[in-house]
């Protein structure tokens, strides 16, 4: 699993702390990535000890891990709601006085379409992160999932919005990354993003865009694993 440079011990603390929020009977959104994987493993251990929950995975990767650790799975269209979603992030704005406080960039694992669906459907969405993810201003490229034959047209539209798009390439083989939904990902550099909400609205309005990785006003709290504990940011 991708680790993006943060300490695995910090990720584990964040993930395990979030898993402690789960109560019997919960439907839980299972995010994607190396930090959430710690939460998924902790949920599996709690199930071995008698916890009774159902999980909704946000990706094939999360599904495989959840099955491996014994989490019973369900699907979004067969439940009344999601009690709690736990998910990682590539960047989290940590600037309590800024309007963008709590905004996220996600999609490092190309799972952001399903992640946004599940995370926004949850009654409560907890982000799990290590300190390397915190920033006072979003500057990282924004993943944009696009229909396969729309990638050049969308790249042109992104340029009109001031972004420079690169088709994400697969690491293990020649060719592009293909998402679980059969689409492609453009990673788009905008430089510093001072108005993530406005940019999110513009990206959502582009024909051919399936989903983008800006999550604004979605997270309820961020659990940040530290050297010796967990910091909860709201
Ligand atoms: C996948 C994501 C991940 O949550 C994000 O990339 C963080 O991953 P990690 O916990 O491995 O650093 O958005 O699409």
Measured CA to CA, the distance from residue 213 to residue 159 in angstroms comes to: 17
Q: What pLDDT score was predicted for residue 171?
A: 87
Residue 228 to residues 11, 13, 14, 160, 222: CA-CA distances in angstroms? 12, 9, 11, 46, 17
Q: What pLDDT score was predicted for residue 158?
A: 98
Q: What pLDDT score was predicted for residue 5?
A: 61
Residue 166 counted as an annotated binding residue = no
CB 152 within 8 A of CB 184: no
Q: What pLDDT score was predicted for residue 3?
A: 43
Cα 48 to middle of ligand 1, angstroms: 26
Pocket of ligand 1 (CB under 6 A): 2-4, 31-35, 87-90, 106-112, 115
Q: What pLDDT score was predicted for residue 72?
A: 98
Secondary structure of the chain in HEC code, one letter for each residue: CCCCCCCHHHHHHHHHHHHCCCCCCCEEEECCCHHHHHHHHHHHHHHHCCCCCEEEECCHHHHHHHHHCCCCECCHHHCCCEEEEEECCCEEECCCCCCCCCCEECCCCCCHHHHHHHHHHEEEEEEEECHHHEECCECCCEEEEECHHHHHHHHHHHHHCCCEEEECECCCCCCECCCCCCCEEEEEECCCECCHHHHHHHHHCCCCEEEECEECCCCCEEEEECCCCEEEEC
162 alpha-carbon distance from chain centroid: 24
Cα 224 to middle of ligand 1, angstroms: 14
Residue 25 counted as an annotated binding residue = no
Closest atom of ligand 1 to 11 CA is 10
Q: For residue 175, is it left (φ>0), alpha (ψ between -120 and 50) or beta?
A: left
Residue 89 counted as an annotated binding residue = yes
Measured CA to CA, the distance from residue 227 to residue 12 in angstroms comes to: 11
Q: What pLDDT score was predicted for residue 4?
A: 55
Q: What pLDDT score was predicted for residue 227?
A: 87
Measured CA to CA, the distance from residue 119 to residue 105 in angstroms comes to: 13
Closest atom of ligand 1 to 34 CA is 11
Q: What pLDDT score was predicted for residue 2?
A: 43
Measured CA to CA, the distance from residue 131 to residue 14 in angstroms comes to: 10
Beta bridge partners of residue 12, listed in sequence order: none
Largest CA distance in the chain: 54
Spatial CA neighbour of 121 closest among 82, 86, 88, 87: 82
Supply the residues annotated as catalytic: 115
Per-residue pLDDT of the chain (234 residues; tens, 9 = 90+): 444 566 999 999 999 999 999 999 999 999 999 999 999 999 999 999 999 999 999 999 999 999 999 999 999 999 999 999 999 999 999 999 889 999 999 999 999 999 999 999 999 999 999 999 999 999 999 999 999 999 999 999 999 999 999 999 998 889 999 999 999 999 999 999 999 999 999 999 999 999 999 999 999 999 999 988 999 999
């Amino acid at each position: 699993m991708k680790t993006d440079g943060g300490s695995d011990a910090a990720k584990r603390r964040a993930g395990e702390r979030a898993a402690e929020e789960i109560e019997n009977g919960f439907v839980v959104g299972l995010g994607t990535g190396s930090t959430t994987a710690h939460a998924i493993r902790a949920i599996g251990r709690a199930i071995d000890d008698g916890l009774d929950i159902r999980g909704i995975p946000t990706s094939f990767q999360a599904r495989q891990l959840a099955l491996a650790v014994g989490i019973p799975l369900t699907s979004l269209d067969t439940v009344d709601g999601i009690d709690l979603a736990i998910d990682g992030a590539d960047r989290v704005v940590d600037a309590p006085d800024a309007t963008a406080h709590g905004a996220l960039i996600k999609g490092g694992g190309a799972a952001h379409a399903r992640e946004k669906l599940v995370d926004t459907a949850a009654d409560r969405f907890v982000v799990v992160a290590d300190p390397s993810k915190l920033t006072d201003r979003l500057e990282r490229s924004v993943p944009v999932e696009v229909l396969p034959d729309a990638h050049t047209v969308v790249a042109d539209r992104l340029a009109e919005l001031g972004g420079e798009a690169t088709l994400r390439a697969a690491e293990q083989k020649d060719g592009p990354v293909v998402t679980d939904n059969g689409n492609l990902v453009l990673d788009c550099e905008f430089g510093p993003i001072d108005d993530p909400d406005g940019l999110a609205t513009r990206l959502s309005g582009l024909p051919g865009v399936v989903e983008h990785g800006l999550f604004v006003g979605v997270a309820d709290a961020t659990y940040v694993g530290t050297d010796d504990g967990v910091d909860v940011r709201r």
